Amino acid sequence: MEIYVYWFLLSLLLLALEMATGTFYLLVLSISAVVGGSAAMLGTNIVAQLLLCALTAVAGTMYLRRRKGTQTNEIVNGSLDIGQPVKVLKWHDDGRARVHYRGTEWDAEVQFADTRHEGTLYISAVHGSNLVLTDRNPQNK
């Protein structure tokens, strides 16, 4: 069998694994195997085939990583928690607080150093399991 057949078989195998796992990274590898197989069909040597395959895989992976990063920021910024009021249970000496929100206690920090420590505070951002608080409701811009 010709070498390009192996490239295309590898591509089909990676595509099948992609459908089983649901990640786009295996799809990128499948596409890069098609590029390697296409180079083999054009008669390039094995080094050029591997180089084209690797370059395609790296470029595709970088694209997915950048795309994933922007989508994550959109999800975090669109959090349903932003603008919700919280009850401060305790202030720590370092300016951090322990707050009651959604039936449990959370760690929190103030967004600005001049944020008042009494009255109703609102969630302005969520960083992991930490809430960022402000004294101005972010929903009333």
Q: Are residues 63 and 89 in the same domain?
A: no
Whole-number Å distance between alpha carbons of 72 and 58: 21
- Separation of first and last alpha carbons in the chain: 67
Q: What is the pLDDT of residue 100?
A: 87
Residue ranges making up the domain that contains 26: 3-77
Both 72 and 90 in one domain: the answer is no
Residue 63: its pLDDT value, please? Answer: 93
pLDDT on residue 140: 65
How buried is 77 (Cβ within 10 angstroms: 0-12 exposed, 13-18 middle, 19+ buried)? exposed
| Whole-structure pTM value | 0.52
Q: Is residue 13 part of a domain?
A: yes
Same domain, yes or no: 28 and 54: yes
Ranges of the chain whose pLDDT falls below 70: 69-78, 138-141
Task: Point out which residues pair with 131 in neighbouring strands.
Answer: 108, 126
Could you say which of 40, 55, 77 is where a domain stops?
A: 77
> Residue 130 domain-assigned?
yes
Please state, rounded to an integer, the average pLDDT across all residues of the chain. Answer: 86
- Residue 139: the pLDDT is 64
What's the structural domain count of the chain? 2
Residue 25 covered by a domain: yes
How, if at all, do strands 85-91 and 104-110 pair?
Answer: unpaired
**C-alpha of 124 from chain center:** 20
Q: Does a structural domain hold residue 141?
A: no
Question: What pLDDT shows up at residue 23?
Answer: 81
